[in-house]
Amino acid sequence: MELKQISYFLALAEELHFWHTAEKMFITQSALSRQIKALEEELGVQLFERSKRKVQLTEAGLFLRDRWLPLLDEISRLHRQARKIHQGEQGSLTIGYPGSIAWGFLPELISSIAQALPELRVELVEPTDISFEQLLLSYQMDLAFRRDPAINPALQSICLYSEPFSLVVPQGHWLTEEAFRGLQDVKDERFILSGLHHTTFYVSSLRQLFQEAHFSPNVYIESDFGSMILSLVARGLGVTVLPSSYAYGIWPQLRFIKLPQQVSLYAVWRKEDSSSVIRNVIAQVLQVAKRFAAEPL
């Protein structure tokens, strides 16, 4: 028994006319008759009562029509869904991200994905720098945006764009952008920073920034979460250095002063991942990244 035979049966059960059904199904009337006869022989039941004037369903035919019709609709729906999954239009994707892109790049990307792939379910997580590679390799995450390129040979990364670091101070701070001469202006301030003992590329960029300013910051509070750092700076508990993309958020109590040093954003995923979803999402990532690279902060 084939799905094609069931489709022919259901079409004939609706039309109750061999010629009209054959025309509707784009086959000859004799071919339709052969398919129905083969189906009846395989099932061992008569499906239609035929006469010169009319065709009507038997009781067995009525029973199978009522059972097969919803089943065929469900099979067709499953086939459509399978095609969408194969083409990367449907499924799910888990994306890890740093807090710095939560107000600019990431909302723009999710909006782009929602328009291009409306049936794709996206989960967003904000892991620590220590765990994101493990989450990717254990398939708990599919795509990560990081300030560091991939080191593990099983992962692939691409630099999306670069942006300046910013010195962030409370809005009422004595230092303004016009008066700013260099990071050494705040060498006596208390800093709220990501732990400088970490070995990530991002933290090494921070250390290099202070080395170029010829002082070691007085780190009063450590945190790896930018939103928390900014909330503490807004309360006047210190100053910080963060990627300038945090300025996309609404921070009326803060002042962002751009620095000459830059930091990059990378997309990282499993190198051997052949998922169509990943391929489609990476295409959206590159499109959005082009816009951010062309319009730097």
Question: CATH no. for residue 48?
Answer: 1.10.10.10
pLDDT per residue over 75-94, tens digit each? 776 665 556 555 555 578 89
pLDDT per residue over 13-65, tens digit each? 888 888 888 888 888 888 888 988 988 888 899 999 888 778 899 988 888 88
Residue that terminates a domain, selected from 68, 86, 104? 86
Identify the residue with better confidence: 77 or 196. Answer: 196
Please indicate, yes or no, whether residues 137 and 283 belong to a single structural domain of this protein.
yes
Calculate the CA 9 to chain-centre distance.
43
Q: Look at residue 3 in the predicted model and tell me its pLDDT.
A: 81
Q: Residue 251 sits in a domain of what CATH number? A: 3.40.190.10
Please indicate, yes or no, whether residues 190 and 253 belong to a single structural domain of this protein.
yes
Question: Does residue 160 register a pLDDT over 90?
Answer: yes
Dist. CA 39–CA 74, nearest whole Å: 21
Q: Classify burial at 227, counting beta carbons within 10 Å of its beta carbon; exposed 0-12, middle 13-18, buried 19 or more.
A: middle
Residue that terminates a domain, selected from 63, 86, 109? 86
Q: Look at residue 128 in the predicted model and tell me its pLDDT.
A: 62
Please indicate, yes or no, whether residues 11 and 128 belong to a single structural domain of this protein.
no
Residue that terminates a domain, selected from 86, 105, 123? 86
Instruction: Supply the range of the domain harboring residue 222.
Output: 162-262
The pTM of the full predicted model, rounded to 2 decimals, is 0.69
Calculate the CA 30 to chain-centre distance.
51
Number of structural domains (the chain) is 3
The candidate with the shortest Cα–Cα distance to 186, out of 243, 255, 134, is 255
